[in-house]
Structure 1
Amino acid sequence: MSQQYSEDAIRTLDWKEHIRRRPGMYIGKLGDGSYQDDGIYVLLKEVMDNSIDEYMMGFGKKIDVTVQDGQVTIRDFGRGIPLGKVIDVASKMNTGAKYDSKVFKKSVGLNGVGIKAVNALSTIFTVTAFRDGECKKVEFSKGDVIKDYEIEPTSEENGTFVSFCPDAEIFEKYNFRDEYIEPLLRNYTYLNAGLAINYNGKTYKSKNGLLDLLNENMTSPGIYPLIHLQAEDFEVALTHGNQYGEEYYTFVNGQHTTQGGTHQIAFREALVKTVREFYNKNFDVSDIRTGVIAAISIKIEEPVFESQTKTKLGSKDMGPNGPSVRNYVSDFIKKELDNFLHRNTETAELLMRKILESEKERKAISGIQKLAKERAKKVSLHNKKLRDCRVHYSSNNEDAPNSSIFITEGDSASGSITKARSVNTQAVFSLKGKPLNSYGLTRKVVYENEEFNLLQAALNIEDGLETLRYNHVIIATDADVDGMHIRLLLITFFLQFFPELVKNGHLYILQTPLFRVRNKKKTIYCYSDEEKDKAIKSLGANPEITRFKGLGEISPDEFKHFIGKDVRLEPVRMRKEDAVSQLLSFYMGKNTPDRQNFIIDNLVVEEDPA
């Protein structure tokens, strides 16, 4: 019998209950801290954004941040929350100074939700406001007030202190990682030149803003010196590198928009238009933009984002009464970049040479590109290599951050993953064997090689990352020599032709267990010899030990444990010190004596367990 749809069936969740039941609506995916877009980093950001807004308004020159044993503390030296409003600001929805555009004209957290979400999703959440010789402290747990302290005199400087521990019931076995926190804090300093952020004893500070950001992050050298252009509400630093694809670091009011949005689209259009007019030549769009490396920061009144986690800007205008983002960026770039190129003839010549080289290469592959696109279109109607999922990263779905694609080799491994996967968020792409070694080849190979062409089409990244269909691109190969070689070949392909995919943290290696140790009562999967030894000890006398030689040996029933909520993914990361061209030439180039010696020195012969 169907339930009665009556007034009794309709209930309103209070604010904290709603956040705790549907956290994805407020902070994106949950996660345990293994990935840079996991929810615990969004919590840290929500609190930081309030402190940054104070700095942007001219209050406080430093922010102290500590993360220890799962607890985060953030102390800014701004004006401090008005003492009578501390409880309201931390626990009443749609309460905050940011509704008054005069006070917080171009801030990020405009929805009045941020700090409340942190409060509701933390077991302990403490906020203390210091203001003009007085302080007010309130302690919460899961959004409820535990202790409301009286206002007391203080000798502390003005500002706000927030401390929180994410709720382990919601963020299971979470762990904050410095490798994700440090870039986040560094970005704040690049966007707020002069601000000092002290994090666990280290101080981050930037003198030259976006110039410093590019100098710190570029993995291939620019072919001309960095161009740096600034206005009150817009700043850009750019160059071109000898790489395929485009590399962008974009920000709105200090928020890192990893998925771009209207400001990035406007910049790309403006760059093409300005370059064409400066040289008075109708260059192809892709010839101008191939190899561009740019950092863009824009300040907008009341920005609109396409998701709660604010990774993609949706605003069409600079503010309620301002010009469109497109016109504003176009006018700025037209004037400032045009002036710069006129004044710096050497840079203008180097840029021209780069465009002509790109044009030459594009024309050489245009015929095969057209054929390849037609072939991919036919195949996509019935692409046996791709078993797609329902939710894609480029969609507005709550599950979009969880969208993944496993790139596997061999029918048995593909079959196991396909049967075990979540059809909602996990896709599978099957390779028929070892992919081609693309090292040293031109982009022509992406279209000539059917497998690469179909992989590019499946990911939908031919024209950039804005249309990327999966947040996690996962290489799932055996842990033997052949599997390692396939990993290297795929990483080479992405580094050569789509470095921005790696740069933006989308490429991962799937870790699968090497051993299964079990007795009649318990099964333990082990990812290393150390874990195996520990499991043998814990299970006692004579457990059964199985060594997995390949993914195809793992049954779908077991595989679901390794690609479900406990999935172990190793990110493929690039830093400035990783000289991509040198890495690739060492591992994937001709067999040099150096490489042979390296392989011999690092060869490990593993024996099967007795």
Structure 2
Amino acid sequence: KINTGAKYDSKVFKKAVGLNGVGAKAVNALSSFFCAQSIREGKTKIVEFSRGSLTLEHQEEPSNLRSGTLITFIPDEDIFGHYHFISEYIEQMLWNYVFLNNGLTIWFNGIRMQAKNGLLDLLARNINGNPTAYPIIQIKEDDFECAFTHSERQYGEEYYSFVNGQHTTQGGTHQAAFREALVKTVRDFFKKDFDPNDIKQSLVAAISLKVQEPVFESQTKTKLGSQHMEPDGQTIRNYISDILKRQLDNYLHMNSEVAEAMLRKITQSEKERKEFANIKKLARESVKKVSLHNKKLRDCRIHYNSSDSRRLNTTLFITEGDSASGSITKSRDVNTQAVFSLKGKPLNSYGLSKRVVYENAEFNLLQSAINMEDGVENLRYNNIVLATDADVDGMHIRLLLLTFFLQFYPDVVKAGHLYILQTPLFRVRNKKKTIYCYSEEERLAAVAELGP
């Protein structure tokens, strides 16, 4: 039965993600085999299902196993076809659970996952040794935890936000509240009216909030819409603001070296912003002059920042040269698919300042075409696809473009807008059938199947 379970009792599960009692039942209904084993108070019982129907119920037996629940399931191939699990995605998800639950240990494919310092460890793992302006600051109180620092390498803002353990990749009210509270607290501490963008530039932060009966803006639960910590309770905005104002202010007073490093970083961002202002102005004027007859961009009719129902299908293919873009241009859907042709190998932007985005004509045209300067919410295309050849030059161009996006627009990558077009290396065919192969192993298998 759906809509059943302990989560309907707010006294039992006060701050959970799932509220409707259908998650495990949906897995059960979509599995050819589903087994649940409960171990409790020295006893165990096992039940087995297929596509949601009970197939076997074992008798209750004594057990010396540790109390807990074991779930085993096999997705139904008649429903999902030839499915496969993405190990990297699952591993990252499990790491997040470990970071959010101190003391929790998870074993996954022989990997032992454990963390002692919560979101501080999460941020350290994701920063991966890259230089920062100052050590990671961690703040914890009741239902809120955050960790943050300023990166010395990247531009833009980068967030890892969670609500009741759910990774909210699109942020929401808790993330907006944190950004606002951080700006206000920093301004008050230094007694300077900094531009908010200078404070948030190069910020890398992890945020976790526990909310009673959370409301999400989509079924995928990637963006929090709740305004209050609990029904008729304190607002999320005020709750986070109170904690950050008190704890961060105390921390900066007690750690003057960190405060000085933060001030230097903000001042540097302010200086760069003012330097960029004139460059941006000239760059925008240059873009306006060529946009009317920009041969590099073959645009589509619908864009991601519109209200059209097909906005999620909007795609920009970035190709290496006019000749390479020919086949994509001819076969594209002119309503939702655009093509941007590179002149050749783009500039290696690794380690360069962001002014290169505006001074380099090709980068300037590209960022303007995508509209990346105004954040991921205003992108003109939902999917940005690097469509390079499957050769050494193509791989090099792909690497240079990835460097450009990761260096200056990491939020575009983190939000899942950047893709790589995986083109086949070989074509094997006979009179009846053609097989495209993406590796030498696939080519050999195709040759064996079709014959010499």
TM-score, normalised by the number of residues in structure 2: 0.89
Alignment partner of 1:239 out of 149, 152, 163: 149
Letter in 2 for 1:166: P
Which digits, 9 at most, give the CA deviation of each residue in 1:245-297, with x for residues without a partner?
11211111111111111111111111111111111111111111111111111
Q: What whole-Å deviation, never above 9, does each CA across 1:113-161 have from its counterpart, x for those lacking one?
A: 2212222322222223334444443323233x14141551331443222
Change (3 A) 1:373 1:139: farther
Shift of residue 454, structure 1, vs aligned partner: 3.8
1:513-592 equivalences in 2 (<5 Å):
513-541=424-452
Range with bigger deviation, 328-337 or 348-357:
328-337
Instruction: State the partner residue of 1:105.
Output: 14
> Residue 484 of structure 1: which of 372, 395, 405 is its match?
395
Does the C-alpha gap of structure 1 residues 310 and 452 become closer, same or farther in structure 2, counting only changes over 3 Å?
A: same
User: Separation in 2 of the partners of 1:396 and 1:309?
Assistant: 21
Match for 1:149: what amino acid? E
Aligned positions of 1:232-381 closer than 5 A: 232-242=142-152, 243-373=154-284
How far apart, CA to CA, are the structure 2 residues paired with 1:150 and 1:484? 56
Separation of aligned partners in 1, 2:141 and 2:245: 13
Q: 2:45 touches 2:61 (CA, 8 Å); kept in 1?
A: no
Distance 1:159-1:295 versus aligned 2 partners, 3 A rule: same
Shift of 1:472: 4.7
Query: Which SS does the other structure have where 1:323 is aligned?
Result: coil
Deviation at 1:381, TM superposition (A): 8.4
1:398-437 → structure 2 map (5 Å cutoff): 400=312, 404-421=315-332, 427-437=338-348
Residue 392 of structure 1 and its aligned partner are, at CA, apart by 4.2
In 1, Cα distance between the equivalents of 2:48 and 2:188?
60
Contact 2:217 2:225 in 1 (8 A): yes
How far did 1:408 drift?
Answer: 1.5
- Aligned with 1:273: secondary structure? helix
Q: 1:521 to 1:170 in 2, by over 3 A?
A: same
Q: How does 1:78-97 map to 2 (within 5 A)?
A: 92-97=1-6
8 Å Cα contact 2:302-2:336 kept in structure 1: yes
Name whichever of 523-532 and 425-434 sits farther off.
425-434
Q: Quote how far apart the aligned CAs of 1:210 are.
A: 0.7
- 2:110 alignment partner in structure 1: 201
Distance in structure 2 (CA, Å) of the matches to 1:112 and 1:391? 37
Gap regions ≥5 residues in structure 2: none
User: Is contact 1:214–1:294 with CA below 8 Å preserved after alignment?
Assistant: yes
Report the aligned-residue RMSD.
Answer: 2.9
Task: Give how far 1:461 is off.
Answer: 3.2
Compared CA separation, residues 270 and 375, structure 1 to 2 (3 A): farther
The Cα of 1:102 is off from its aligned counterpart by 1.3
One-letter code aligned to 1:293? V
How far apart are the structure 1 equivalents of 2:34 and 2:291?
Answer: 50
Residues 114 and 387 of structure 1: is their aligned pair in 2 closer, same or farther, counting only changes over 3 Å?
farther
In the superposition, relative to structure 1, how do residues 528 and 197 fare at CA in structure 2: closer, same or farther (>3 Å)? closer
Q: How does 1:438-453 map to 2 (within 5 A)?
A: 438-453=349-364
Instruction: Classify the secondary structure of the residue corresponding to 2:82.
Output: coil
Q: 1:246 to 1:164 in 2, by over 3 A?
A: same
Deviates more, 1:478-487 or 1:259-268: 478-487
Secondary structure (helix, strand or coil) at the match of 2:147 reads: strand
Is this contact kept in 1: 2:170–2:415, CA < 8 A?
no
Change (3 A) 1:135 1:420: farther
Distance 2:56 2:314 in 1: 42
Further displaced range: 230-239 or 366-375: 366-375
Give SS of 1:435's match. Answer: coil
Q: Say which SS state the counterpart of residue 420 (structure 2) adopts.
A: strand
Task: Give the conservation status (yes or no) of the 8 Å contact 2:300–2:338.
Answer: yes
Report whether the alignment pairs 1:158 with 2:67.
Answer: yes
- Aligned amino acid, residue 299 of structure 2: R
Residues 190, 210 of structure 1: 8 Å contact kept: yes
Q: Deviations over 1:157-178 (max 9, x none)?
A: 4322211112224433222233
Provide the C-alpha distance between the structure 1 equivalents of 2:8 and 2:303, rounded to a whole number of angstroms: 34
- Distance in 1 separating the partners of 2:2 and 2:310: 21
Check conservation: 2:390, 2:424, Cα contact below 8 A. no
Q: Does 1:177 align with 2:101?
A: no
SS in 1 for 2:77: coil
- Structure 2 CA distance, aligned partners of 1:124 and 1:394? 44
- Structure 1 CA distance, aligned partners of 2:35 and 2:308? 33
Summarize the Cα distance change of 1:166–1:253 in structure 2 as closer, same or farther, 3 Å threshold: same
- 2 CA distance for matches of 1:97 and 1:381? 60
User: Contact conserved, 2:311 with 2:382, CA < 8 A, in 1?
Assistant: no
Q: TM-score, normalised by structure 1?
A: 0.67
**CA distance in 2: counterparts of 1:415 and 1:394, whole angstroms:** 27
| Residue 387 of structure 1 pairs with residue 299 of structure 2 | yes
Matched, 1:118 2:8: no
Matching of residues 463-502 of structure 1 within 5 Å: 463-467=374-378, 472-502=383-413
Counterpart residue identity of residue 144, structure 2? F
Unaligned runs of 5+ in 1: 1-91, 542-610
CA contact under 8 A between 2:302 and 2:308: conserved in structure 1?
no
Match of 2:47 in 1: 138
Letter in 1 for 2:55: K
- SS across alignment from 1:315: coil
Aligned AA (1:528): S
Match for 1:320: what amino acid?
A: P
The AA in structure 1 aligned to 2:47 is V
Residues 1:460 and 1:319: Cα distance change in structure 2 (over 3 Å): farther
Secondary structure at the counterpart of residue 145 of structure 2? strand
Q: Could you tell me how far apart the structure 2 residues matched to 1:396 and 1:135 are?
A: 54
Contact 1:460–1:468, Cα closer than 8 Å, also in 2 = yes
How far is the alpha carbon of 1:490 from its aligned partner?
1.0
- Letter of the 2:149 partner, please give it: T
- Given that 1:304 and 1:315 are in contact with CA atoms closer than 8 Å, whether structure 2 keeps it comes out as yes
**Structure 1 399/135 Cα, relative in aligned 2: closer, same or farther at 3 Å?**
farther
Tell me how far apart the structure 2 counterparts of residues 516 and 342 of structure 1 sit (CA, whole Å). Answer: 66
Report the AA paired with residue 106 of structure 1. Answer: K
CA distance in 2 between counterparts of 1:281 and 1:191 reads 34
User: SS at the partner of 2:366?
Assistant: helix
1:129 maps to which residue? Answer: 38
1:221 aligns with 2:131: yes
8 A Cα contact 1:260 1:466, kept in partner:
no
Determine helix, strand or coil for the equivalent of 1:511. Answer: coil
C-alpha distance 348-510 of structure 1, shift in aligned 2 (>3 A): same
Q: Distance in 1 between matches of 2:331 and 2:29?
A: 34
Per the alignment, residue 77 of structure 1 pairs with none
Paired position in structure 2 for 1:455: 366
Q: Distance in 2 between matches of 1:121 and 1:507?
A: 31
Q: CA separation of 1:386/1:151 partners in 2, compared to 1, >3 Å: closer, same or farther?
A: farther
